[in-house]
């Protein structure tokens, strides 16, 4: 059990978080590193620092470099201007949401109290697909919080938020 506030990797070989992708058991090593992060009380701060610091390698906050990139893209998409789409759907109109706007629309409607079932019907998506999008929205929202908290304590970070980090 990790003490509150202490990283779960405190007594772990750091190499574990930088698995060699040429090894046959690379995936198992990634899974093993992620399982340590899963139990870490500071995983959000760890992720935020890695993102703000533009870490290119290693598993931080339970995310691989590719996953951090995908998470940042999702976080950026959450900021898309989708007011028109949300209003149309709220009025019960049919509206084909662009794939790149889907996260922001689901976020907007969920925050207005829409259930998964209602989203599924309005967006013409299977329930499982909506659930997956909602999970991505939650992870992206948590990433934005982690980034903003990290920005307040890290020096020399980009001022343009996730969009600038993604460049």
Q: Do 36 and 9 meet the contact criterion of CB atoms below 8 Å apart?
A: yes
Q: What are phi and psi of 8, to 5 degrees?
A: -70, -15
Q: Which tokens go with 18?
A: 């930088």
Q: Is residue 9 within the footprint of ligand SF4 (CB under 6 A)?
A: yes
Q: Site for ligand SF4 (CB under 6 A): which residue of 3, 5, 11, 17? A: 17
Q: Site for ligand SF4 (CB under 6 A): which residue of 61, 136, 137, 140? A: 61
Q: Is residue 51 within the footprint of ligand SF4 (CB under 6 A)?
A: no
Shortest Å distance, C-beta 40 to ligand SF4: 3
Using CB under 6 A, count the residues that bind ligand SF4: 13
User: Any bridge partners for residue 63, and if so which?
Assistant: 60
Residue with tokens 């460049």: 167
Query: Three-class SS of residue 63?
Result: strand
Q: Is residue 8 within the footprint of ligand SF4 (CB under 6 A)?
A: yes
Helices (H) and strands (E) in the chain, counts: 8, 0
Shortest Å distance, C-beta 62 to ligand SF4: 6
Binding site for ligand SF4 (CB under 6 A): 7-9, 17, 36-37, 40, 42-43, 46, 60-62
């Amino acid at each position: 059990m990790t003490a509150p506030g202490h990283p779960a990797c405190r007594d772990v070989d750091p190499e574990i978080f930088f698995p060699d992708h040429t090894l046959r058991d690379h995936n198992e090593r990634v899974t093993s590193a992620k399982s340590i992060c899963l139990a870490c009380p500071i995983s959000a701060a760890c992720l935020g620092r890695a993102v703000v610091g533009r870490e290119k390698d290693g598993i931080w906050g339970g995310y691989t470099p590719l996953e951090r990139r995908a998470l940042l893209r999702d976080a950026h998409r959450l900021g898309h201007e989708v007011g028109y789409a949300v209003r149309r759907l709220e009025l019960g109109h049919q509206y084909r949401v662009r794939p790149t706007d889907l996260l922001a629309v689901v976020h907007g409607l969920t925050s207005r109290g829409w259930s998964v079932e209602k989203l599924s019907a309005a967006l013409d998506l299977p329930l499982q697909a909506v659930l997956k999008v909602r999970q991505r929205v939650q992870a992206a929202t948590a990433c934005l919080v982690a980034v903003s908290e990290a920005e307040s304590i890290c020096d020399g970070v980009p001022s343009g938020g996730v969009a600038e980090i993604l460049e």
